[in-house]
Amino acid sequence: MTLTCDDYCDCAQEKRMQIQTLYLVRKERCFRTLLVFIFCWACLLAEVSHAKTSPSSKKESINNRICFVSDMNGSYGSIDMPPSVQSAMDQLGRLNCGLVLGAGDLVAGQQTSLTESRLREMWEGFSRVVLAPLDNQNIPFLSALGNHDASADRNSSGEFIFERDRRVAKDFWLTRLENSEYPFDWISREDFPFYYSLRHGTIGIIVVDGTSSTELRRKREWLEQQLILFEKDPSLSTRIVVGHLPLVAVAKGRDRQGEILADSRSLYELFDHYKVDLYVSGHHHAFYPGRIDAWSQQHGTVQLALGALGDGPRHLLGDSNLPARNALSFVDINPSIPFLLGKISLGTLIPQTGIYLSTLELPEEIPSVDGRENSVRLERVDFARPFPNP
């Protein structure tokens, strides 16, 4: 085969185009890296500036670290906590948390055959393993309730199927609250422990009853009232809502009605409108920080789906080959930075090993569904990782 001069010219032209394309790709990657570098330096300078102007910055940093726990239960009716929970408690003891927030399923109820005395024993077992070590370190603990703690499922007459579970859970938490010496800054606690709100420094926190897919409908007006109060309080630069069921699915086997809040889209739009930074959920036993861009109109509320600390970690939706594993998450809040991805740093580790998980290991997006099984794309959100100890 004989090559003509035109053939050589075409080859040279194609080669030049390949080189030019490669150059542009590398240039774009360098530009993105530079942007990330500048962003990180801006966050660091803001942190240093805040530290210089605040004499109690170390204390504030510790107070603004919130550790999250969820789905700590074992098999139905079990009094003892799974070994992975003890591993998580060991890690919590090293993290210098200013507050520990739970997203529910702290005990293993939701079985009508469980007696009241057995339910109380289960809560006592939880108290020994989880609450006692935190109390010894003067670390406050609050939690949403899960379906295995106090399910809000109702029968055809509108009565709670697991009324006994709810009554025992309420008695346990009200008794603990009465005996607590920690000065919580309450905003609303008339329906504690199912619904309540409080300030934690510059952080506004709302806890809702997400123990069934539809129960939150009954308190929608109360929820919006709390968000309006947050909006009117300029000292609350960060807003967090905690509930058991997620807004959209993240785990295999949980992508169906009843496993997700039924009014997920309208709730997300409500949170986004009032600039909620995080909606923290459990139930799906899989860690994934994500955002539904198709629903976000302005703020970009992030759903932080927590991994399980007890039995039954699950696989993420989609074709990811990541293993199902327990996960313990915590955030640091820097109130001096106004935008969401700057003021919040997120750390997640495997309790048994202490090895940190990077969000970059997670799929960039997962095929999800909302509470009515409509398909949505949940896109991963990458936060900066905090320093292990403030």
**Do 164 and 309 belong to one domain?**
yes
**Do 10 and 79 belong to one domain?**
no
In tens digits, what is the pLDDT along the chain, a chain of 390 residues?
555 555 544 555 555 555 554 444 455 444 444 444 444 445 444 444 444 444 334 434 447 999 999 999 999 999 999 999 999 999 999 999 999 999 999 999 999 999 999 999 999 999 999 999 999 999 999 999 999 999 999 999 999 999 999 999 999 999 999 999 899 999 999 999 999 999 999 999 999 999 999 999 999 999 999 999 999 999 999 999 999 999 999 999 999 999 999 999 999 999 999 999 999 999 999 999 999 988 987 899 999 999 999 999 999 999 889 999 999 999 999 998 988 989 999 999 999 999 999 999 999 999 999 999 999 999 999 999 887 654
Contacts of 351 (CB under 8 A, 6+ apart): 84, 87, 88, 90, 91, 309, 326, 327, 328
Q: What is the pLDDT of residue 320?
A: 87
Give the Cβ contact number of residue 290 at 10 Å.
26
Q: At which of 53, 81, 97 does a domain end? A: 53
* 118 contacts 111 by C-beta, under 8 angstroms: no
Read off the amino acid at residue 261. Answer: L
Give the Cβ contact number of residue 126 at 10 Å.
22
**Do 235 and 261 belong to one domain?**
yes
Burial (CB < 10 A; 0-12, 13-18, 19+), residue 175, is: exposed
Q: What is the pLDDT of residue 40?
A: 47
Q: What is the CATH number for 350? A: 3.60.21.10
Q: What is the pLDDT of residue 60?
A: 44
- Is 179 among the domain residues? yes
3-class DSSP state for residue 167? helix
**Do 30 and 140 belong to one domain?**
no
Expressed as residue numbers, the domain containing 15 is 1-53
Q: At which of 53, 81, 96 does a domain end? A: 53
**Residue whose pair of structure tokens reads 């997400």 in the numeric block:** 210
Domains: count for the chain: 2
> How does DSSP classify residue 261?
-
What gap in Å lies between CA 119 and CA 112, rounded to an integer?
Answer: 11
**Do 351 and 232 belong to one domain?**
yes
CA atoms lying within 13 Å on the CB side of residue 199: 12
Phi, psi at residue 207, to the nearest 5°? -115, 130
What gap in Å lies between CA 173 and CA 342, rounded to an integer?
Answer: 35
* 249 contacts 259 by C-beta, under 8 angstroms: yes
**Do 283 and 196 belong to one domain?**
yes
Sign of the torsion angle spanned by Cα atoms 114, 117, 118, 124:
positive
* 263 contacts 302 by C-beta, under 8 angstroms: no
Q: What is the pLDDT of residue 296?
A: 80
- Is 114 among the domain residues? yes
- Is 240 among the domain residues? yes
Q: What is the pLDDT of residue 48?
A: 42
Q: What is the pLDDT of residue 308?
A: 98
